[in-house]
Amino acid sequence: MVFGVCKALQVTFLGTSSGVPTRARNVSAVALRLPQRAELWLFDCGEGTQHQFLRSDLRLSQLRRVFVSHMHGDHVFGLPGLLASLGLSGNSNGVDLYGPDPLESYLQGVLRTSSTRIGYPLKVHRVRDAAEQNLIVFEDKDILVRCTPLTHRVPAYAYRVEQKPKPGHFNLERAQSLGIPPGPVYAALKRGEQVSLDDGRVVDGRDFSGPDRPGASIVFCTDTVFSEAAVSLAKGADLLIHESTFAHSEAEMAYQKQHSTSTMAAQTAAEAGVGKLVLTHLSPRYAPGNPVTPNDLLREAQAIFSNTILAKDFLSFEVAPRCNSS
């Protein structure tokens, strides 16, 4: 399933159950593979996530960053074992972790009491201030990450990953018509730089490029009851991955436990104007064969936001910006 034809972000679901694993669904984990670099990011790491890696075509050795939504066990119990295995493989250049304040002390306690040595750089970043003050969580030349607080029983955060815009297509014909010699000068103009030519002219690369090409954007949102902050973070995103723990008929329980129903997830997608919604973090009570099934939750969501699909373990697809989609 491809949402476009440009260099896309690849999403792979490694766990789509809430609370406890089932025969068909492990607990929460979503992998993000970045284009044109051997780098993998992980959002949450429930128990057994490293086993899910082994069952997928993903390479754990490429893991570079882990973003943790909150400290409930079905989202973090797999992290110490995964990090330990990565250390034993000797293939890591380092991992950065992002999450709630207790994440660092949790990891330090588990690794220390189990006498586990991590033989690569491991750094933990607290995201609370960035979430509350609308600051950037992470940024490099290609990617920008922001987050926002959610509404749950413990501090929880949603994350938004955006590819930065790329320069528009280079107008080769215009450059040739102006007698600009090919070579390194063209490369500089393509980057939008000003260039001094041998004949004394100064040309601006921005005059030779079309409109910037926007990148893809993905929002990971779990666990929470319906949240206006999540709507704001997800505005215009190409893909929203949102928890759907309960069916609409159990909205009262969802409010009590501060989780979302299928219709809350769809309402978030609709108000945010996202391109596509994926439901995940489904309660085991909706296993096939029970009175209410995951397909029932899907139909409830599609009644509000039609472009909704249901996540399952090992579902994998690419996400590209909608304006470049076919």
* Catalytic center residues: 74
Token representation of residue 88: 């034993």
CA-closest candidate to residue 28, choices 19, 39, 40: 19
- Residues 276 and 48: their CA atoms lie apart, in Å, by 28
Asked whether 124 and 107 are in contact (CB, 8 A), the reply is: yes
Q: Characterize 158-182 residue by residue with b for buried, 16 or more Cβ atoms within 10 angstroms of its Cβ, and e for exposed.
A: bbbbbbeeebeebeeeebeeeebee
Cα–Cα distances in angstroms (integers) from residue 185 to residues 168, 175, 190, 195, 205, in the given order: 17, 10, 9, 7, 9
CA dihedral over 15, 156, 85, 63, signed as positive or negative:
positive
The amino acid at residue 114 is S
The CA distance from 161 to 239, in Å, is 10
Q: Using CA atoms, how far apart are residues 86 and 120, in angstroms rounded to an integer? A: 9
Beta bridge partners of 203: 195
Token look-up 């978030």 returns 268
For 275, half-sphere exposure in the C-beta direction (CA atoms, 13 angstrom radius) is 17
**In contact, 78 and 52? CB cutoff 8 Å:** no
Return the closest-CA partner of residue 260 out of 207, 292, 297, 232. Answer: 297
Q: For residues 297 and 301, give the distance between their C-alpha atoms in angstroms, rounded to a whole number.
A: 6
Q: Where are the alpha helices (DSSP H) in the chain?
A: 49-54, 73-76, 79-89, 103-113, 128-133, 172-177, 184-190, 228-234, 251-257, 262-272, 294-302
